[in-house]
Chains A and B, each alone.
Chain A
Amino acid sequence: KAGVTQTPRYLIKTRGQQVTLSCSPISGHRSVSWYQQTPGQGLQFLFEYFSETQRNKGNFPGRFSGRQFSNSRSEMNVSTLELGDSALYLCASSSGRGEEEQYFGPGTRLTVT
């Protein structure tokens, strides 16, 4: 079974630009969660999508948005990039029910200059 894949793995953007990151969950999984990892703030929850609906949302500004497609693939978008958005963005997939394990992808390293 293929694991969680994230594309691209590395990205460099300029302040003010926007960026879209992609996450393909494990086949059959319907839940995708996104996290931001920075040295200063650690791992912070962005949002979770289940069956194309946002099920939960963290405390991030509206510049951070996401969506999920019918095949469970998910994208997150950050508009008007700021230097502080430089981070490793991780996604995790699970079936979405019960106490099952979440599987993390390798992450996308975003650098904003």
Chain B
Amino acid sequence: GDSVTQMEGPVTLSEEAFLTINCTYTATGYPSLFWYVQYPGEGLQLLLKATKADDKGSNKGFEATYRKETTSFHLEKGSVQVSDSAVYFCALRIKAAGNKLTFGGGTRVLVKP
């Protein structure tokens, strides 16, 4: 079946540090890939997405590139802020499965001033 694996947290960083969260996937079809963010007490917000190989999704300084050859979609940000503290989820969607999202386990990120 389809699955997403992402690095376990928590990841603790200082403000302005570089952030990388690894994400790899296994899919039966050709997936679209997503990063969602969850702030305390809230639902999920879409951070960025990529729908085909070599696409780069970007938003709010975050970037991720769809790498079909390594089945990866790593999230990066060059300079994190305290406000980036949250849980980040990598997810995939197979077109044939409608809107079903398959999520990774989530990575908690804590940015200290």
Binding site for B on A (CB under 8 A): 4, 31, 33, 35, 42-45, 48, 50, 55-56, 58, 90, 92, 94, 96, 99, 101-107
B17-25, B38-46, B71-79: which lies at the A interface?
B38-46
Tell me the minimal C-beta distance from A47 to chain B in angstroms.
9
With A42-B103, A99-B51 as given contacts, are A105 and B98 in contact (CB-CB < 8 Å)? no
A55–B43 alpha-carbon span in the complex (Å): 23
Interface centre among A44, A58, A104, A107 (most CB of B within 10 A): A104
Interchain CB contact (< 8 A) of B99 among A31, A44, A106: A31
With A99-B32, A99-B51 as given contacts, are A107 and B43 in contact (CB-CB < 8 Å)? yes
Interchain CB contact (< 8 A) of B45 among A44, A56, A58, A104: A104
Q: Is B88 an interface residue (CB 8 A)?
A: no
Q: Is B101 an interface residue (CB 8 A)?
A: yes
- The binding surface of chain A is classed by DSSP as strand
Taking a contact as CB atoms under 8 Å apart, the answer to whether A94 and B43 are in contact is: no
**Residues in B whose Cβ lies below 8 Å from that of A107:** 43
Interchain CB contact (< 8 A) of A48 among B49, B89, B98: B98
Taking a contact as CB atoms under 8 Å apart, the answer to whether A106 and B42 are in contact is: yes
Taking a contact as CB atoms under 8 Å apart, the answer to whether B106 and A4 are in contact is: no
Interface centre among B45, B91, B95, B103 (most CB of A within 10 A): B103
Taking a contact as CB atoms under 8 Å apart, the answer to whether B101 and A102 are in contact is: yes
**Residues in B whose Cβ lies below 8 Å from that of A102:** 46, 99, 101
Taking a contact as CB atoms under 8 Å apart, the answer to whether A43 and B89 are in contact is: yes
Tell me the minimal C-beta distance from B108 to chain A in angstroms.
11
Taking a contact as CB atoms under 8 Å apart, the answer to whether B99 and A42 are in contact is: no
**Residues in A whose Cβ lies below 8 Å from that of B106:** 42-43
Taking a contact as CB atoms under 8 Å apart, the answer to whether B43 and A4 are in contact is: yes
Tell me the minimal C-beta distance from B92 to chain A in angstroms.
12
Interchain CB contact (< 8 A) of A56 among B42, B46, B98: B98
Which of chain B's residues has its CB closest to A94's CB? Answer: B99
Tell me the minimal C-beta distance from B21 to chain A in angstroms.
15
Taking a contact as CB atoms under 8 Å apart, the answer to whether A96 and B99 are in contact is: yes
**Residues in A whose Cβ lies below 8 Å from that of B101:** 33, 35, 43, 45, 92, 102
